[in-house]
Amino acid sequence: MVCKRIIPCLDVKDGRTVKGVHFVNLRDVGDAVELGARYAREGADELVYLDISATQEGRRTFTDLVRKISRRIDIPFTVGGGISSLEDAAKLLEAGADKVSINSAAIRNPGLIDELATHFGNQFVVVAIDAACVDGRWMATTHGGTRPTDKELFSWAREAQERGAGEILFTSMDHDGTRNGYPCDTMRALSSALQIPIIASGGAGSIAHIAEVLSDGCADAALAASIFHSGEIPIPVLKKALIEKGINVRPI
């Protein structure tokens, strides 16, 4: 049986890890390299780093940061934010990233998924979908959930899979920052509709929430930020609790 994964997410601005809700009211929570190294020591299975500035200057800074991260940690890590071309992805993968995550660029140009998968391989491509429920339908959004699109969650996720995505990172914008749990019914339906792994994001506030999305929600991985950055739920404590609940995670 494949182990479920625990994935801390680190939003990066100017080389520092920051946290807010929908990328506003940001506060500094630590050095991105040191924090990632700590999570790796504590038993995280993977990390996700998102460059939330993604300016041209920030892209160079972020590439240098990815190089530093790759020298310090020994677990897989995904990078995203502002990736819109093969060249962007190549720079980050060459710097040491294990995967790249694309979101808005994939919506603007779905063919980018095909290009990345063909050039680098499906296992390197994560398609992130930030979706909100509108009149009973889950619709993809961009720009931190502020801009609606015409992409329906399930059809867009299936298209991304068909184009070569290796994983889907689904964030519920309705739940993000609420700490009230993940939308497990939607996660379960999405998992049933796809053959590739689903990473659940948005709403983690307790061990019970993570346990629920990995079991009832059928997610392959749970991504969270605040509960790890604050030290509220240390990864060793979380994994011990999940194992006690019969959830198959990699032990510390």
Residues annotated as catalytic (active site), given as ranges: 11, 130
Q: Nearest 5°: phi and psi at 89?
A: -65, -40
Cα gap 146→226, rounded to integer Å? 21
Tokens of residue 1, six digits: 């049986």
Cα gap 104→61, rounded to integer Å? 21
Strands 137-142 and 147-152: antiparallel
Q: How many CA atoms lie within 13 A of 101 on its CB side?
A: 23
Q: How many CA atoms lie within 13 A of 46 on its CB side?
A: 19
